[in-house]
A = this chain, B = another copy of it.
Amino acid sequence: MKPNEGEMTLELEVLKWDGAGLIPAVVQDAAGEVLMVAYMNREALTETLSTGFGTYYSRSRREMWRKGETSSHRQKVLELRLDCDLDCVLLRVEQLGGACHTGHYSCFYRKVEDGKLVFTA
C-alpha cells in the first residue's frame, strides 16, 4: 500500500455515532497499559483534537468531562486512532496522576481468576 493511499480529511460525520450521539474511546498509556474506557460526543472529540487533552462526555453526569479539570489528572494526547468501522476511538496518552477515580492508575485493576474477581498488584 502506498503511504498516503486512502488518506482522507476527517469529517465528524464519517464516524458512526450511536443513537445518543456517542462513541466509545479506549485510553491507553505510551507503554500500552489500558487506563479506561469513556465516551465522546462530537464536541468532546473536537475539543480533544484542538486542545490535545483527553475530553469526554459523562453519561452519568450528562455533561462534558474535561478529564483532570478537578483532579488535575489530565491526559496529554500522544496519538488518536480510529478503528476500521469508524465506531471507536483509541487514544494514546501521557497520564498525569491516576486515570481512575478510585485512585488506581488504571481502571482495570481487577482481574478474573478461577471465577473470582481479584485485585492485581
Contact = CB atoms under 8 A, between A and B. Distances in A.
Interface of A: 1, 3-10, 14, 24, 26, 28, 31-34, 36-37, 49, 79-85, 88, 90, 100-102, 104, 107-112, 115-120
A24 B37 contact: yes
Contact of A109 (B31, B84, B88, B120): B84
A2 to B, nearest CB: 9
Nearest to A101: B84
B49 A112 contact: yes
Nearest to A88: B37
A108 B83 contact: yes
Contacts of A36: 83
A88 to B, nearest CB: 5
Given A9-B116, A84-B100, 9 more contacts: A8-B117, A14-B117, A28-B28, A34-B34, A36-B83, A37-B83, A80-B111, A83-B107, A90-B108
